[in-house]
């Protein structure tokens, strides 16, 4: 499993890199689960880590605004993101999800170095009235994305495992792999979740709070990134 760490600035990005992160995921927790940061922060992070690892950028927790999502993806890619990650937060139907995702995929194809497109659903979809993430592998494959992901929409300390069972997440990963897509699991993960994550075996696990000492509003600590990297390797 690869380790995706979500810094909010260059200092945290360097700590994540030095701790052994495989992907540096720029986001802004003040704007939500997949809150978008500024283009210059993406650019500065890429420069701070000297492009030693791929940079991912959260585009936001989106409702049904395919054009806005496509423009956000274009901006993030132009700023240097190798992955653009869209949260299908207030998406009600499969066709709405397809419209948003296919627009981003088409946008990526316009770039000289196309970013990988990540479609993120939410394990707590019932409480935010959004689309079931179990549908994402099929929708994502039809739209042409590269990776499908599960996160939590509400960041109140409740983890993905409180909303989806191990069996459901294994099925999510297996369906995606059968369709040629990579997978990621995130959502207030904790060190004690590592054994179940190894059984589910996604391609990537995404964290912030875990390497901030349990509080996602705190600061990423290099030693916790090192500890997590060692435990999942």
pLDDT tens digits along 117-158? 999 999 999 999 999 999 999 999 999 999 999 999 999 989
- Show Cβ contacts of residue 139 under 8 Å, excluding neighbours closer than 6 positions: 94, 97, 98, 101, 119
* Number of residues written out for the chain: 233
What average pLDDT does range 5-12 have in this prediction?
A: 95
Mean pLDDT for the stretch of residues 46-53: 95
> According to the model, what pLDDT value does residue 217 have?
75
Mark whether 27 is an active-site residue.
Answer: yes
Q: If DSSP states are collapsed to H, E and C, what string results for 112-172?
A: CCCCEEEEEEECCHHHHCCCCHHHHHHHHHHHCCCEEEEECCCCCCCCHHHCCCHHHHHHH
Catalytic member of 46, 53, 85, 182: 85
pLDDT in tens, 164-198: 999 999 999 999 999 999 999 999 999 999 999 99
The predicted pLDDT at position 210 comes to 93
* pLDDT value of residue 218: 86
Which CATH code for domain 2-232? Answer: 3.20.20.380
The contacts of residue 30 (CB under 8 Å, 6+ apart) are none
Q: Quick one: pLDDT band at residue 211, thresholds 50, 70, 90?
A: very high
- Which of 27, 53, 175, 182 is the catalytic position? 27
Model confidence at 215, in pLDDT bands (50, 70, 90)? confident
What are the residue boundaries of the structural domains of the chain, listed by start? 2-232
Res 101: pLDDT: 98
Look at residues 37, 44, 106, 95 and name the one whose alpha carbon lies nearest to residue 71. Answer: 106
The pLDDT of residue 37 is above 90 = yes
**Average pLDDT of the chain to the nearest whole number:** 96
Give catalytic status of residue 30 as yes or no: no
Residue 117 pLDDT: 98
Q: What is the pLDDT of residue 158?
A: 93
Q: What is the pLDDT of residue 233?
A: 87
Closest CA to 98 of 61, 153, 142, 146: 142
pLDDT band, very low/low/confident/very high, at 36 (cuts 50, 70, 90): very high
* Per-residue pLDDT, 40: 97
Q: Is residue 2 scored above 80 in pLDDT? A: yes
pLDDT for 54-106, tens place per residue? 999 999 999 999 999 999 999 999 999 999 999 999 999 999 999 999 999 99
pLDDT for res 213: 86
């Amino acid at each position: 499993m690869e380790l995706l760490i979500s810094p909010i600035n260059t200092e945290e990005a360097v700590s994540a890199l030095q701790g052994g992160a495989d992907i540096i995921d720029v986001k802004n927790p003040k704007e939500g689960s997949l809150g978008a940061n500024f283009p210059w922060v993406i650019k500065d992070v890429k420069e701070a880590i000297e492009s030693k690892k791929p940079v991912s950028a959260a585009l936001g927790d989106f409702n049904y605004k395919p054009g806005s999502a496509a423009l956000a993806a274009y901006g993030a890619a132009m700023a240097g993101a190798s992955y653009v990650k869209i949260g299908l937060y207030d998406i009600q139907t499969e066709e709405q999800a397809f419209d948003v995702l296919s627009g981003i995929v088409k946008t990526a194809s316009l770039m000289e170095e196309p970013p990988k497109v990540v479609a993120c659903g939410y394990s707590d979809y019932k409480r935010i009235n959004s689309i079931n993430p179990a549908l994402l592998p099929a929708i994502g494959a039809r739209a042409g994305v590269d990776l499908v992901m599960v996160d939590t929409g509400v960041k109140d300390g409740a983890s993905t495992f409180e909303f989806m069972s191990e069996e459901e997440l294994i099925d999510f990963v297996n369906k995606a792999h059968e369709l040629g897509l990579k997978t990621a699991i995130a959502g207030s993960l904790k060190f004690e979740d590592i054994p179940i994550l190894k059984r589910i075996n996604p391609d990537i696990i995404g964290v912030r709070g875990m390497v901030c000492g349990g509080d996602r509003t705190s600061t990423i600590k290099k030693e916790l990134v090192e500890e997590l990297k060692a435990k999942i390797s």
